[in-house]
A and B are shown apart, each in its own frame.
Chain A
């Protein structure tokens, strides 16, 4: 598989899909820092639980709810 098929924005992942965080886009540094503090760092395992009305995902054992713009900034390598 080419890398583009294996990597996805978290916002584009289906509920139930999981993978590892590849990177967090830094166009908004505050957001990236906050995500990092909550454990969303490269290498962390994420599983998408729900997409509507907000994105909810599991990162390790932390359940996080975020708005779509935030989910778009998380790049995940699918398993």
Chain B
């Protein structure tokens, strides 16, 4: 299962990708799906669910703000998202 963390800018998302990589977490910047984007266009970082809490902990010690977190799951071949509490 993957998680999407939404950020305010493509720059912030890229910074997160590089920051968590230092902790061995694989993250990938993607364009946030429109149905979960908090306010129109945004960029997210996709991570494995197992890394979610570690990533949140790392970012809580930085100036990077997470705008939203969603769990990705599939129903009948369709990708859906469930919002998580950070």
Do A and B make up one complex?
no
Q: Which residues of B contact A (CB under 8 A)?
A: none
